[in-house]
Structure 1
Amino acid sequence: MPTSDPGTPVPAQSPTPSWQWPESVWRGHVEAVRAGRALTPARWPGGARAAVALSFDSDHETIPLRDGETSPGRLAQGEYGARVGAVRIRELLRRREVPATFFMPAVSALLHPDEARGYAEDGHEVAVHGWIHERNTLLAAEDERDLIRRALDTLTELTGSRPTGIRTPSWDFSDSTLGTILDLGFAYDSSLMADDEPYEVLADGRATGLVEIPVDWIRDDAPYFTMERYSSVRPHTRPRDVLEMWRDEFDEAYRSGGVFQLTLHPHVIGHRSRLVILRELLDHIGGHRDVWWATHAQLADAARAQLTGAPGEEGR
């Protein structure tokens, strides 16, 4: 993105308080990465009323490794995702004949190459999720680019297929993320939260052609079930309460003809009492015949088709 434009946002470390920013600065921050044209078709492929896109972030040991934590206990929490959670998830998806997208940090894939290849062999999509689940918003532009490129190359080599999608480890963009994603040829991103439905990403008001498949913490298992022994982070929600929320999210997506997108983690959802609610959720969704189950790449393709249609208003 431009760096010499008068309206370019000031760096986050600027000592100038935000209430003193001129309009060009605060408007520049807002417009740097923005939601553009909504990309929801009148009907999904096959005439389906709604689309369902399941995703799993196979982070495993990279969460502690990112922060330099190497204790066996912390690493074992992540290992559970590969040793137990991913196995159960693959079997559940196989039984339900449901496709999914697995966003996998490259280090996680290198630690568990058979798992990465297994996702692809099962017909699922494998997509980029950083190198070691780094905090990408804190990186210098060249470091972020190098890690994304290395992750892309690693997953391509392991699975035999070049990923077309990315989910940033931080679920956020640095000042250079969007430019890097576009330069490396990604077709879609799934890190931002400006809508319930897919949309085109704008860069400083300009259309990029990049499809955003938005996420949200509501539709993520980690906020409800994460446990950090030496911090205030504790599981605070009963699994069945989470099931009710996710079921309501799907029901409203179905009613409006939109997308139900869900983000899960094998080391989180893979535990017995939590996998039960995922099984029941899939059964609930499966009770609706006119639903299109799609990978994020397939969903992005269907959304991108709207860009070639008649022009419409950007956003909502």
Structure 2
Amino acid sequence: MTDKQPWQWPESEWRAKVEKIRAGRPLLHPDVPRRWNDGDKAAVLLSFDADHESGALRDGQTSPGLMAQGEFGTRVGVPRILEVLKRYEVHASFYIPAVCALLRPHEVPAYVESGHEVALHGWIHERNTLLTFDQELDLLGRAADVLQEQSGRRPTGIRTPSWDFSDSTLEVIRELGLLYDSSLMADDAPYELLADGNPTGVVEIPVEWIRDDAAYLEMDRYSGLRPYLSPRQLLQIWKDEFDAAYSANSVFDLTLHPHIIGHRSRLVILEELIDYMRSHAGVWFATHEELALHIAPQLTAGQDFKTS
């Protein structure tokens, strides 16, 4: 660990830090027409980070008010979301911290019974960049054990809590044999992760704050965090994002939170968005795992994603 200021780093140091975790080859070739599942034109991935009380618990904040705000996510938001997904016959990915799964052992089985993916989201929504490799591996390994016990199968993917990806996270992902990550932002289509310039075989399904409800709708009375768009203004942003992905035969992935999107005036825009996307021909609604499995063979083949 150097005591030098960043402007004093030699080139070897700043170059090594930048290249620690990078985007490798794209897994959607920009110049090749693609067809997804059953000849579909574009892939839509809906995902829900079931954080509930864990964000506050992580920081040692246990006031009844904060606990109630998180409880809304599981008590009200999740049932509403599951009903919407069932009505539209859409499968989604649910990322849940192990502590939330342990608080309500019925929640993960409900996702599985409805045909949804259950994937890793840390132990207690911890901040990975504050952990050592051993701590991060221990927490995520125990979280995987919890989700496997409750869901009946080992999770294959991860979204790091708060998208906090440490210098050790990729090594932890590989140690646990995970297929994909969905926490980084180097592209708006899937790519392979590199570690110190070397291919890893790990699929990255990138996220973005533009496609996250928390960036627009979250509220904290004691800070400057305030909703600054109406839900219907936000709906237009997501429609535009989908339109661009559809035109490019690419991927539109959306990150939502039950305690945020699950409110009545907000859930209605999710329904309208699904209606809008379903009005387009050839849209494949997939889980993150399904998408990763669909493109993973290209990694072993050593080729970019191409289909005939």
CA-atom RMSD, angstroms? 1.3
Match of 1:123 among 111, 115, 138: 115
CA distance in 2, matches of 1:228, 1:306: 44
> How has the CA–CA distance of structure 1 residues 224 and 164 changed in structure 2, closer, same or farther, with 3 Å as cutoff?
same
Is 1:168 the equivalent of 2:156? no
What whole-Å deviation, never above 9, does each CA across 1:88-127 have from its counterpart, x for those lacking one? 0000000000000000000011112111110001000000
How many residue pairs match? The answer is 301
Read off the aligned partner of 1:121 and give its amino acid letter: E
Runs of 4+ in 1 over 3 A off after TM superposition: 308-313
1:310 deviates by 5.9
1:170 deviates by 3.0
Match of 1:267 among 259, 269, 287: 259
**Contact 1:104/1:130, CA 8 A, preserved across alignment:** yes
- Report the counterpart of residue 234 of structure 1 in structure 2: 226
CA distance in 1, matches of 2:300, 2:37: 16
Match of 2:294 among 299, 302, 312: 302
> How has the CA–CA distance of structure 1 residues 310 and 149 changed in structure 2, closer, same or farther, with 3 Å as cutoff?
closer
| Same amino acid, percent of matched pairs | 62
Match of 1:94 among 75, 86, 90: 86
CA distance in 1, matches of 2:152, 2:66: 31
What secondary structure does 1:113 align onto? coil
What secondary structure does 2:193 align onto? strand
Is 1:23 the equivalent of 2:15? no
Q: How does 1:107-256 map to 2 (within 5 A)?
A: 107-256=99-248
Read off the aligned partner of 1:23 and give its amino acid letter: E
Match of 1:39 among 27, 33, 39: 27
Read off the aligned partner of 2:42 and give its amino acid letter: A
1:305 deviates by 2.4
What secondary structure does 1:156 align onto? helix
CA distance in 2, matches of 1:309, 1:209: 11
What secondary structure does 1:54 align onto? strand
What secondary structure does 2:162 align onto? coil
Can you give the 5+ residue segments of structure 2 that lack an aligned partner in the other structure? none
1:309 deviates by 4.3
**Contact 2:127/2:164, CA 8 A, preserved across alignment:** no
CA distance in 1, matches of 2:134, 2:203: 24
**Contact 1:137/1:170, CA 8 A, preserved across alignment:** no
CA distance in 2, matches of 1:204, 1:140: 19
CA distance in 2, matches of 1:19, 1:182: 33
Q: How does 1:277-316 map to 2 (within 5 A)?
A: 277-309=269-301, 311=303
Is 1:68 the equivalent of 2:56? no
Q: Which moved more, 1:297-306 or 1:46-55?
A: 297-306
TM-score by length of 1: 0.93
**Contact 2:27/2:304, CA 8 A, preserved across alignment:** no
Read off the aligned partner of 2:171 and give its amino acid letter: G
What whole-Å deviation, never above 9, does each CA across 1:246-278 have from its counterpart, x for those lacking one? 000000000000000000000000000000100
